[in-house]
Structure 1
Amino acid sequence: MSIRATNQADVIPRRPLPAAVPALPREPLWRDLVGEVLRRERQAQGRTLKDVAEAARISMPYLSEVERGLKEASSEVLAAAAQALGLSLADVLALAGERLVSLTAARSRSRSLGPGAAGGRRSVRPAGPAGPTGSAGATRPSGPMGGVLLAA
């Protein structure tokens, strides 16, 4: 037996390695949400990128990049694309806001159900004894959109 073979030993860890924590979906970006709304509306109307880009007077490649969330469009470009689709800028922003709320709620659910969810994370909800309803832990949505405030 050689010295090299004698000095080699199997290492057995004392504790098991921590299990891999599943990655949460990334925070949605506003440009992705707005692009998704524009694409969904265009496709629902059965229109092509070329048709909508010409009606909005913006380039077809740029509109494609906006729809895919690769470009952050100005409010003028968004308003032109919305108008070309028969929508207002407010319609596009409201639809994107609704999508953001649903994705954020799904993300919060997956975070609260995942392993180690209580491990040092602070809650965003108030921990006070009385909310708007006057009972502990129960809250009533407030504001014009049921607890969602959108600012432009």
Structure 2
Amino acid sequence: MSSTAKISLRDVHKGFGPKKVLQGVDLDVAKGESVAIIGGSGTGKSVTLKCVLGLLTPDQGSIKVDGVEMTTASRTERDEMLAKTGMLFQGAALFDSLTVWENVAFGLIEGQGMKAAKARDLAIARLEDVGLAADIANMSPASLSGGMQKRV
């Protein structure tokens, strides 16, 4: 995690049913500091980052980015933080329930409210920019090679 913002996690907890993934996580990342989160499979690395980004809501605790409490942030505050953020998970972490083009266009549709038809056209253009043919747009991410998933 490379930060152009100050990030602070205090007593963050997150579970999924009986599985407790995060239990009292505390972390400070200073502006300009780079931090690596390492650990074994299932230890909460991705869940921690997803909570910071607001993709998941912690069950308990505080997450502040540049002093703004992200667990209760307004849509505008969250959008401002996300506009400065980029992330790629090791396994591409695509939504398996969405098609390739829907994964590419997710931010346009959900974040910017763009109409699906226009977002699809833009997604296909971006796929072509990274050497992926338009005919993969309606495929599921699972049907792609690992390299193709990374480009998506």
TM-score, with structure 2 as normaliser: 0.29
Structure having the higher Rg: 1
Q: Greater share of strand residues, 1 or 2?
A: 2
Q: Greater share of helix residues, 1 or 2?
A: 1
